Amino acid sequence: MRDVAIIGVGIIPFGRRDEDSLLDMLAYASLKALDDAGIGDQGVDAVYVANMGAGILQHQTSVASALVDRLSLMPAAADAVENGPASGASAIKNGLLAVASGYYDTVLVAGGEKMREVVGWKATDFVATMTHPEVEYPYGITLPGMAGMFTRLYMEKYGLTQEQLMAVAIKNQKMGTLNPYAHVDMIITREGIQESPDAVVNNPVAADPLHFYDMCPVSDGAAAVILCPAEKAKEISQNTPVIIAGFGQATDTHTLQEREDPTNLKAVTLAAKQAFKMANLTPNDVDVAELHDAFTVLEIAESEHVGFFKKGEGGKAAEKGETTLTGKIPINVSGGLKARGHPVGATGVAQVVEIVFQLRHALDKNRQVKNAKVGFTLNFGGFGNNVVAFVLRRSE
């Protein structure tokens, strides 16, 4: 297996993009990544496109071959990857394996989703199609509903508090205001969402005990990366290569009820362990991480399950500021899904793009983790039933 490098990245601002089709967004992000890599005029061997819902939301399928045609990348091989909200990282993993195997040299991986085309409850219903079709979906379960139940259990078992959840929401929305690609550009305060008498209206309960500001927004967006063999990275591109040092992927039961302990996100732990083992690194080596905070509770729970903190300590760490830009382990300094937004097919790719920016030391000071050398991403599908992790390393 060859080492694989990321030599180009592209992302477009997430949010409501009424004027753009899904294919427009995928094309914009892909062109940015191709240009960033400096191979805009050379084409690629293969294209992987991560998308969860075009078949449902846009009544469009085969988006990968459509993108290849749109970008005139023929005859590049085209594959669409649908793996729920973990589609983005799954697609990168497939591209990684294709390059690592020696079969392809240059691969474009793009992820995109257009979710604002439908009203909110239809988007929520669309995301809920990943739940079990016989024992969950027919009874009206939604992902926010699952997250609410998970949070309650986590509170009971580990003493997680509303204040700790709020610390994540406030941190990520603050960081989102510094990220030009973030959907949400608004600071929130403890006073505004909890302490003032008006907070109950500003921040109502959404899925008890989770509140409105514990949820990520529904977004449109796309992101893309260019992969190549690490040994050729410097001859193909001028950019500082970022090496995919390790990856891991694991699956857990489809339904939460079948898990011995629903608060134990086994697939998260396994995926992270695999990624760290392959990279020959540990969680202590990570300088910056992007975790899948579709709900604030997930950032905390994942930070524990991947090994940044002991179980029950992640919430306290968030509250103490240990996950801020200058903290012990900066998490989601992009704003995370909470503020950057969560166009489901794009998210896993966007996380990797953010870490590449960090490892290139290409960000403004107010968002750059100083001297970052190792980054970590975790893309969480279903309610933890399909998880993909990457360890990324700056190539000196």
Residue ranges that bind another protein, judged by CB under 8 A:
12-20, 28, 32, 119-120, 180-189, 191-193, 196-204, 213
Shortest spacing between CB 25 and another protein, in angstroms: 9
CA distance 76 to 105: 11
- Phi-psi domain of 221 (left: phi exceeds 0; alpha: psi -120 through 50; beta: other): left
The answer to whether the CB of 282 falls within 8 A of the CB of 247 is: no
CA distance 115 to 121: 11
Question: In the complex with another protein, which residue's Cβ is closer, 58 or 202?
Answer: 202
Shortest spacing between CB 342 and another protein, in angstroms: 15
Question: In the complex with another protein, which residue's Cβ is closer, 20 or 36?
Answer: 20
Which residues, 6+ apart, have CB-to-CB distance to 59 below 8 Å? none
Shortest spacing between CB 229 and another protein, in angstroms: 30
Shortest spacing between CB 200 and another protein, in angstroms: 8
CB atoms within 10 A of CB 43: 17
CA distance 296 to 165: 6
Shortest spacing between CB 254 and another protein, in angstroms: 31
Pick the closest to residue 88 from 276, 229, 290, 274 (CA basis).
290
Question: In the complex with another protein, which residue's Cβ is closer, 72 or 371?
Answer: 72
Question: In the complex with another protein, which residue's Cβ is closer, 5 or 224?
Answer: 224
Question: In the complex with another protein, which residue's Cβ is closer, 194 or 239?
Answer: 194
Question: In the complex with another protein, which residue's Cβ is closer, 200 or 362?
Answer: 200
Shortest spacing between CB 212 and another protein, in angstroms: 9
CA distance 73 to 51: 19
Give rounded-to-5 percent helix, strand, coil for the chain.
40, 20, 40
